[in-house]
């Protein structure tokens, strides 16, 4: 909010370290695409931001995983209530549920996800029409975290074979289809099927539909292999999140 009030933000490009300044003036911002596991601190500010001319999409990660994997994340029930508030204010199409990542472990096997996903989807179906998902990428910093988790708790995270991922994804997509919810895979083209589409997490086409008075860049510019995002400016910063998730790649310090 301080950056909004100042009208600009300076951020450091993680690839090379160059400092960049980006205007946050309402006339220069087509829309803000948020990512979060907890929108509660932002809720008091959103009506005022909307009145000032800002428009939004909300990627909302709600996995319902046991707290050992997400120690500082709100309970799923609290997050669902927050998602409902966002949908009531700005419309269900602005709320993009992320069941992400689908973390397979000795305490969250595929059967766990089949049940947990169905529980969450049934509660969210009225407040969103889209679910994004992926399986975790075990970057080196993530491997360190999961190895520490195994030493401290005995819980082991599993890098699931592709055929098992495809089978699980198909079952989750069948649940989503019954609830009239679109299932989109993020950076996982091998999962695309008649029930699962390719995700565009920065989705300029959706933004054009929601905010036809705004100008958006309809140019694909993925951030990694198989990424379907449209061009945008990412002002996020590594090593700033306090949620402490075991699978996180954005904090060097891990848990």
Residue 226 has pLDDT above 90, yes or no: yes
Q: Which domain holds residue 70?
A: 2-138+160-210
Q: What CATH number did the domain enclosing 81 receive?
A: 3.20.20
Predicted pLDDT of residue 17: 80
Q: Is the pLDDT of residue 209 over 80?
A: yes
Helix (H, G, I), strand (E, B), or coil: what is residue 21?
A: strand
In a domain, 29, yes or no: yes
Decide if 133 contacts 169 (C-beta within 8 A): yes
Q: Is residue 198 in some structural domain? A: yes
Task: For 138-205, give the DSSP string.
Answer: --HHHHHHHHHHHHHH---B----HHHHHHHHHHHHHHHHHTT-EEEESS-GGG--SSEEE--SS-HH
pLDDT 10s digits, 23-58: 999 999 999 999 999 999 999 999 999 999 999 999
Q: Can you tell me the mean pLDDT for 12-19?
A: 81
pTM listed for this prediction: 0.94
Beta strand extents in 62-145 (DSSP E only): 95-99, 130-133
Q: How confident is the model at residue 138 (pLDDT cuts 50, 70, 90)?
A: confident
pLDDT-derived band at 253 (thresholds 50, 70, 90) equals low
- pLDDT score of 180: 97
Q: Is the pLDDT of residue 251 over 80?
A: no
Mean pLDDT (whole number) for 3-13: 93
What pLDDT is recorded for position 252? 66
In a domain, 241, yes or no: no
Position 249 scores a pLDDT of 79
Residue 118 lies in a domain: yes
Plot region of 168 (φ>0 → left; ψ -120 to 50 → alpha; else → beta) = alpha
Task: Please report the pLDDT score of residue 255 as a whole number.
Answer: 45
pLDDT of 254 higher than 70: no
If one counts the domains in the chain, the total is 1
> Does 122 have pLDDT greater than 50?
yes
Whether 145 maps to a domain, the answer reads: no
Q: Return the H-helix or E-strand segment holding 92.
A: none
How far apart are the C-alpha atoms of 39 and 185, rounded to whole Å?
A: 23
The reply to whether 132 falls in a domain is yes
pLDDT at site 84: 98
State the chain's mean pLDDT as an integer: 94
Residue 175 lies in a domain: yes
Task: Please write the tens of the pLDDT for every residue from 64-106.
Answer: 999 999 999 999 999 999 999 999 999 999 999 999 999 999 9
Asked if residue 154 has pLDDT above 60, the reply is yes
CA-based nearest residue to 95, from 52, 141, 46, 135:
46
d(CA 121, CA 80): 10
Whether 120 is in a domain gets the answer yes
- % of the chain at pLDDT higher than 70: 98
At 189, list the tokens: 């083209």
């Amino acid at each position: 909010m301080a950056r909004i009030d100042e009208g600009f933000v300076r951020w450091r490009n993680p690839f090379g370290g160059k400092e960049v300044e980006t205007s946050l003036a309402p006339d220069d911002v087509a829309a803000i695409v948020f990512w979060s596991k907890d929108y509660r601190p932002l809720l008091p500010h959103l009506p005022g931001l909307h009145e000032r001319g800002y428009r939004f999409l909300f990627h909302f990660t709600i996995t319902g995983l046991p707290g050992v994997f997400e120690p500082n994340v709100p309970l799923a029930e609290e997050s669902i209530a927050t998602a409902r508030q966002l949908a009531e204010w700005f419309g269900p199409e602005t709320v993009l549920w992320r069941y992400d990542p689908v973390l397979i472990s000795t305490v969250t096997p595929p059967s766990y996800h089949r049940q947990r996903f169905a529980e969450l989807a049934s509660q969210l179906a009225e407040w969103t029409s889209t679910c994004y998902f992926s399986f975790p990428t075990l970057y080196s910093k993530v491997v360190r975290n999961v190895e520490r988790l195994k030493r401290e708790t005995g819980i082991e995270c599993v890098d699931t074979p592709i055929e098992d991922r495809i089978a699980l994804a198909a079952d989750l997509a069948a649940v989503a289809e019954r609830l009239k919810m679109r299932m989109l895979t993020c950076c996982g083209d091998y999962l695309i099927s008649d029930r699962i589409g390719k995700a565009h997490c920065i989705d300029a086409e959706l933004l054009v539909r929601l905010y036809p008075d705004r100008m958006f860049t309809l140019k694909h510019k993925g951030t990694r292999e198989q990424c379907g995002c449209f061009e945008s400016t990412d002002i996020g910063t590594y090593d700033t999140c306090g949620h402490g998730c075991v699978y996180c790649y954005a904090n060097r310090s891990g848990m």
